[in-house]
Each structure stands twice: as structure tokens, then as C-alpha cells.
């Protein structure tokens, strides 16, 4: 029975870790894909200033 309890804990830990990894991965992916938008917005502002 002790082993079964450990198995359950491991499964829960793995589930939490998996969910965290997925959430972090999605967050990083969004930030990584949105990164190019930031410099573009700043560049547009600079361009307006020059204009």
C-alpha cells in the first residue's frame, strides 16, 4: 500500500509539472512570438518623431 501511495504522489507531481511546463511553454511562446511587435511599435514612434 505504501508503494501505491508513492505512485499516486508521483502521478500528481508529474501532472502538476506537466501542466506547469505547458503553461510556461505557452507563455514563453506567446512572448517570443510577440517580441518582434515591440521593436516595431517603438520604431514607428521614432519615425513619427522624425516626421
pTM: 0.47
- Rounded to whole angstroms, the Cα distance separating 28 from 24 reads 6
Q: What is the pLDDT of residue 31?
A: 86
Q: What is the pLDDT of residue 19?
A: 97
Mind listing the pLDDT tens digit for each residue in 1-46? Answer: 656 667 799 999 999 999 999 999 999 999 888 766 555 555 555 5
Q: What is the pLDDT of residue 32?
A: 83
2 domain residue, yes or no: no
3 domain residue, yes or no: no
- Rounded to whole angstroms, the Cα distance separating 46 from 27 reads 29
Place of cell 517580441: 35
- Rounded to whole angstroms, the Cα distance separating 51 from 43 reads 12
Question: Which domain covers residue 46, as residue numbers?
Answer: 21-51
- Rounded to whole angstroms, the Cα distance separating 3 from 40 reads 56
Cell of 6: 508513492
Domain total in the chain: 1
Place of cell 511562446: 29
Amino acid at each position: 500500500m505504501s508503494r501505491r501511495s508513492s505512485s499516486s504522489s508521483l502521478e500528481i507531481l508529474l501532472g502538476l509539472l506537466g501542466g506547469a511546463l505547458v503553461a510556461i511553454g505557452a507563455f514563453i511562446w506567446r512572448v517570443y512570438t510577440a517580441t518582434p511587435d515591440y521593436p516595431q511599435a517603438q520604431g514607428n514612434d521614432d519615425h513619427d518623431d522624425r516626421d
